[in-house]
Structure 1
Amino acid sequence: MTERATPIEHAALPTFETLLRAVAEMDTPDGFKAELIRGKIVVSPFSRLRYYRCMRALREQLQAHAPEGHVADIAPFLFRFPAAKRAYGPDLFVTDESAFDEEGRHADGGALSLVGEFTSVSTRDADWKEKLDVYGRIVPVYLVVDMQDSEITCFSDPSPQGYRSRKTVAFGEALPIPEPFDLSLDTTGF
């Protein structure tokens, strides 16, 4: 008997909300997080221990310049982007604290003022492509901390086509972070 591919009816595919529920109900192993990337549930490890000092330095600088009512953190929360049918758990985020007033487990991605992703071998492609595309339509500032190339890139000025501005510096150089932060980020400790 010859095997043939059988198409799945569109109605049989899981909805974005169904996938979000599945992520919420997952019992991921300690040290792992689940995200919705390209319509799939992807489980990946938390950042490496050596990333912590860099994450902390970044979080402290951003918190000092965050818009009023916004908080910078590295806690593992999932932010949803329903228009893109995606949900990400950024390595670092700055968001309006009111995003945590909602019931449920998934915060509104529209409340984010900044996202920082620290690349790893397993997440690098998603950080530079998939997440760049989604964040670039709604999040004011996106930082890609490239731990493999020892540089940091700031994307800003989101639009329906993606970010309109990009600036990259090597670790050790100052990186300008535009409004709503308006700071010169010190990367010497990175």
Structure 2
Amino acid sequence: MSAQPVEPYHDVDPEHALKYAVQHMAGDRAEIIEGVITPMSPSWGHEGAAEDIREQIGARVRALGCRTGSGNVDLPGSPNWYVPDLAVVPAEFFKRDARAVLPDQTLLVVEITSPSNGETDRVTKRRRYAEYGAPLYLLVDRQEGTCTLFSEPGRLGYTRVAGPYPFGTPLALPEPFDLELDTSGF
């Protein structure tokens, strides 16, 4: 008996298949960056910086009817599925257990660099978050010791940049936050 050739799957959407694999097989702390599955394992210092931001913006976030988290962010039509270090999203996403939010559904996305992913956060994610409409992107660069806030997103990137400021320099978060972030603890 001879083996029959296997017909290739013609109806499989490669983007959907890749994102499904990350969601169901790679674990909760994995993301896809330009088609490459990347596991995440942040250090305690990394987590501490995220927690410091969370504590400082918490009251304002709640007043806006939002919550903070580090859930999935989908970039449809691309081979990207991010897990930001912190994102501010409307509370409704937590109530309906959304699988992912889109960048333009966030109020703020925060990425904190690690030695292994610094360039990804500085370049690739910054470009993609702008392209997909994340209104505010805060880059906490622990290797450089700086914070940079990107705003006014467009297809070619963010058109407004505040920073980079050395840690310890207060950073103004614009509306809807309208508060000053103390960066000395990062």
Equivalent in the alignment of 1:58: 53
Q: Do the aligned partners of 2:104 and 2:135 also contact (CA within 8 Å) in 1?
A: no
Q: Do the aligned partners of 2:15 and 2:77 also contact (CA within 8 Å) in 1?
A: no
Equivalent in the alignment of 1:33: 29
Equivalent in the alignment of 2:176: 180
Instruction: Find out whether 1:90 has 2:84 as its counterpart.
Output: yes
Identity fraction in percent: 33
Q: 1:40 to 1:52 in 2, by over 3 A?
A: closer
Equivalent in the alignment of 2:3: none
Where do 5+ consecutive residues of structure 2 fail to align? 1-7
For 1:113-132, list aligned pairs within 5 A. Answer: 113-132=107-126
Deviations 1:16-75 (A, max 9, x none): 1111110111154xxx82111112222232x211223322111122222236221123x4
The separation in 1 between residues aligned to 2:18 and 2:85, in whole angstroms, is: 21
Q: Do the aligned partners of 1:99 and 1:108 also contact (CA within 8 Å) in 2?
A: no
Q: 1:104 to 1:23 in 2, by over 3 A?
A: farther
The separation in 1 between residues aligned to 2:48 and 2:134, in whole angstroms, is: 24
Amino acid at match of 1:16: E
Instruction: Find out whether 1:171 has 2:170 as its counterpart.
Output: no
Equivalent in the alignment of 1:189: 185
Q: TM-score, normalised by structure 2?
A: 0.83
Amino acid at match of 2:175: E
